[in-house]
Structure 1
Amino acid sequence: MEHYEMTVHEEHRSERIDKYLTSIESNWSRTQVQQWIKEDLVHVNKKVVKANYKVQPEDVVTVDVPEPEPLDVVAEQMNLDIYYEDQDVLVVNKPRGMVVHPAPGHLTGTLVNGLMAHCDDLSGINGVMRPGIVHRIDKDTSGLLMVAKNDLAHESLVTQLVNKTVTRKYTALVHGTISHDHGTIDAPIGRDKKDRQSMTVTRDGKHAVTHFEVKERFDEFTVVECRLETGRTHQIRVHMKYIGFPLAGDPKYGPKKTIDFNGQALHAGILGFDHPRSGEYIEFEAPLPKDMDILLDKLRNKH
């Protein structure tokens, strides 16, 4: 455990203690500092304080920084499809069928296992099982994910997600022919009380908004581009089912065995965000995976 001691100067008068500490030590994140405060590792004039304490000139602040928790997730060499990487962020194209992070009973073969073999500087905000993971996509959804390589980048990306400034566009094949070209689904999503493994539109759920645009129509299917405004679990799958156009191949929310595709036909093709360090907007596009391309070609030929 490392011990830090500092005396507050006049220019920081009445700053919150968590803000003060992150301004003094740029490598510390606000989330980290707040956690240390909860664990009584931060003292002002030898007394424990809360995160909303406002520092005063001549206050003596001490911080005991714990040793980083060792990751017990196994690093595995994988041929990752990395679209972008620098000291702060990494953008990777996840294949369909791969789980994003380890969970009880599923500790190997995940994207995180591969990321840990690729680089050793992932953010620790989400704990030992989800280092660097800012957002997720389902196992059978392919596409782009942003990964934070340090805690400051992690906080910036999470803030952008909360503020709805991240661009996330998905290509989906849905059952039925959607007659209108555009639409917005604004319906709260929560855990299904009849099936705890599923999500559903429910009055007491969390705010969820999906915008969609029709890209192509077939006899019994429609290709849509969905833009997420919020990021609830299974959001696109639940919302499209809610309006009567469930995703093709979706084993949980769609009709059974109507199409030869192992899992929902959904691809996170476009991802854009402000770079955490430079503030510059950057955007990436990943083409449809081969199996989804083949599926759409079959439908075109049939159509």
Structure 2
Amino acid sequence: MNRRKTRSLNVVQHILLIIMCFIAIFPFYWMVISSFKNESEIFTASFIPLKPTLENYVYAFSNMPIVKMMFNSFVIAILMTASQLISSLLAGYALVRWQFKGKILIYTLLSLTWLIPIQAIMIPNYILINQMGLNEKLLGIVLPFGVSTFAILSLYQSFKAFPIALIEAARLDGESDFGILLKVILPNIKSSVTSLGILLFINGWNEYLWPILITKKMENAPIQIGLRSFVSSDVNMWGSLMAATTISCLPILIIYLVLQRQIVDSFVKFGIK
């Protein structure tokens, strides 16, 4: 009887998993097949293109500098990830390693800044970037995101869980604080750093609202801004939009296929925290 209940429960669980997987994958599948449909077929309910065409991809490449914008997205995501990881490593280590007045206050303020929506500081940031002459430049997009409170607090927990005895032993051996961070701590928490880096890269790649304020020319913007050019008040080029969106999803899809275990672990790890 117990075996029968267990089998029934497993069947129900697998059915639910299949349904959830279908719900998650179907929008991506519909986007891909829609990119191969012509204008007369784009709004039909067919699950496969009846007359496949590459016109949408040709139109997307001819009307938008996709390669340049993809390069911009890569540079933005990499620079954001690198700057946020470096700053969070240094800040998290300082908060755990050193005892100083105002430490609790700084940690509290960092936690509170995480609650401030990005829309509340967009205007001051835009004025500052404009005064610095960084409009239409990738540095103007990256600079306001050079530090991530989420990254600092995440690595703070990893540093806090690290054995103090190992740090003190390295200190007795004559290692500096920077040497302890690089040679002792970092090799032991590299999985946490890698997981965090993956999340930061995905966030940087998907950044949309801030770049659209800084860039006006398409060749200076990330790929997400270019997708907007296919939707207007007059004409909506849905087929070309699906083609350009499919192309923009390929890098993240490839990264996911290569690093799927690390990505799943990162969502589980930081979701629990």
Give the TM-score category using the shorter length: under 0.3
Answer 1 or 2: which has greater helix percent.
2
* TM norm structure 2: 0.28
